[in-house]
Structure 1
Amino acid sequence: MSKKDSRITNLIEKSHSIAVICGLSGESTVPVGIAIASYIEDVYGRKSDIYYSGDFSIVNSELFSQADIKSKFMQKSLKISIDFSNTDIKTVDYYKDGDSKLVLEVSPIVDKFENDRVSFDVVGAHYDLIIAIGLSELSDLGDFYSKNEVVFEKAEIINIDNSPKNKNYGSLNIVDFSASSISLLIFSKFLEWGYIPSKKASKSLLVGLSN
């Protein structure tokens, strides 16, 4: 039976959405990213999104059949919802009013149309827990970080790395300079936590250990 690490457990169980971000050395970070995502699903029953923004050609092609690996966050958008019950809407138009205003025009509506029947929400990338794999600092991600800095700032960070250059920037830092690879580091942590890797996690770690 798996023994949950209390520090990780606290962060995972209070989170609503989890992203696993793999460093640009994809041949070593992507296998660990897949293994970590498998661990989270197996032990905590939680899904997570895996991201890698580097050169896909250096990543073992077998890994792409193991998991859905995304290269960028979903672009944010504004979603407007209208409760049109008891209203027979026939047209929905929009137009620009001046340089900075967009007008949405819906017709016809009932005479007494309450404002609270219109709501809006911002949809897109939003994570409250980010697991960073093989990153000495988040800025090592280049444009992926600079273009999404707000997403990172709003999230708790679990920092997993074996580099002596690591800045210990995480809410939780799992950093071991003595580990010869990140795959070996996380494999040893799995043993420590009593987690027997699933078939997917095992295959991914074997790929990482062979690099």
Structure 2
Amino acid sequence: MKTYSFAEIQRLLGPAQNILICLPKSITLDQAAAGLSLFLSLGKAGKNVNIVSAEPMTVGFSHLVGLDKVADKISGVNLVLTIDAPIENIDKISTQDDGKRLSLVIAPKTGMPPVSREQIIFNQGGTGTDLVITVGARRLEGLGKIYLENQGIFQGKPIINIDNNSQNSNFGRLNIIDPDASSCSEMVASLICGMGFPADEDIGSNLLLGLKEETRNFQIEKVSADTFETAAFCLRVGGRREAVLKPEESVKEVKKVEEKKPSQPPSDWLEPKIYKGSTLP
């Protein structure tokens, strides 16, 4: 299996506790499998990991473990209260603490209307993200609304950019770009193995599914010895082979060939025959 910049990866991953994994829009099964495998592995390593994608996962991805953990937006850890009123109408905002509950008091200026409940908007903010990892995104805009609605996160945090596309724009602080790799699943498997991250049957199964899908069952030209070593790694950690899907009976009709029954011989066929001279030619 391939060797990437493991020392640099460790330098960024080591101190990071809150990690955000971002998947691209128009996502492929391989990219989803790779991202989820990394999500599961880092979680087992004791990291607090979230995984997001701008678009919902399709039914075709249903065999992937952890699919229900993929969110369609970045959730923050802080509650943010926004007052939808002109700031010049507000005199002051103070707090009251009775020992059990904390209250916010919004006082309007003299002669100004009080702030109504309808003018208070609640949001989550402050993700606490230490590190962003993108899987399969050629550029940040390829993350769709995940990037467009949270540009501050991507501009202020280190990014590890993982991709096997030669057209990648190298937007990360650390860019792990390998156009020779058959798939993102192959790359992530090399990272998990090389970094000594946890791997189990769920992770192996996800990677194996992504690998087989992207390589068309190991038939494309980019398949190499590293690809087969990746498959072997997945099987060694307990990865399950994809179930063989049986075709529906309605897809292909099987026609029964009627056997021809031999015609019945005459009733006197088995009786002894007596030939007389008159019967001979």
Shorter-chain TM range is: 0.7 to 0.9
The unaligned stretches of length 5 or more in structure 2 are 82-93, 118-123, 214-281
* Bigger radius of gyration: 2
Q: Equivalences for 1:134-149 in 2 at 5 Å?
A: 134-149=136-151
Q: Deviations over 1:101-148 (max 9, x none)?
A: 9599xxxxxxxxxxxxxxxxx744341200000011111122221111
1:118 is aligned to none
User: One-letter code of the match for 2:69?
Assistant: D
2:182 is aligned to 180
**Taking CA–CA contacts closer than 8 Å with sequence separation of 6 or more, which of the two structures ends up with the larger relative contact order?**
1
1:109 is aligned to none
Q: Distance in 1 between matches of 2:165 and 2:180?
A: 9
Q: Distance in 1 between matches of 2:71 and 2:95?
A: 28
Q: Distance in 2 between matches of 1:78 and 1:196?
A: 36
2:273 is aligned to none
Any idea what SS the aligned residue of 2:48 has? Answer: coil
Structure 2 residue 86 is the aligned partner of structure 1 residue 72: no
1:14–1:103 CA distance, 2 compared to 1 (3 A): farther
Any idea what SS the aligned residue of 2:190 has? Answer: helix
Could you tell me how far 1:50 is from its partner in structure 2? 0.9
Structure 2 residue 98 is the aligned partner of structure 1 residue 84: yes
Contact 1:158 1:173 in 2 (8 A): yes
1:67–1:201 CA distance, 2 compared to 1 (3 A): farther
- What is the root-mean-square deviation in Å for CA atoms of aligned residues? 3.4
Any idea what SS the aligned residue of 1:48 has? Answer: strand
1:66–1:54 CA distance, 2 compared to 1 (3 A): closer
1:159–1:65 CA distance, 2 compared to 1 (3 A): closer
Contact 2:96 2:105 in 1 (8 A): no
Q: Deviations over 1:178-203 (max 9, x none)?
A: 01111112223334335562222111
Any idea what SS the aligned residue of 2:189 has? Answer: helix
The unaligned stretches of length 5 or more in structure 1 are 105-121
1:84–1:71 CA distance, 2 compared to 1 (3 A): same
Contact 2:65 2:202 in 1 (8 A): no
Instruction: Determine which structure has the larger strand proportion and give its number.
Output: 1
Q: Deviations over 1:35-59 (max 9, x none)?
A: 11223233x4212001112242265
1:17 is aligned to 18
User: One-letter code of the match for 2:98?
Assistant: F
Q: Distance in 1 between matches of 2:157 and 2:60?
A: 27
Any idea what SS the aligned residue of 1:158 has? Answer: strand
Normalising by structure 2, we get a TM-score of 0.56
1:180–1:129 CA distance, 2 compared to 1 (3 A): same
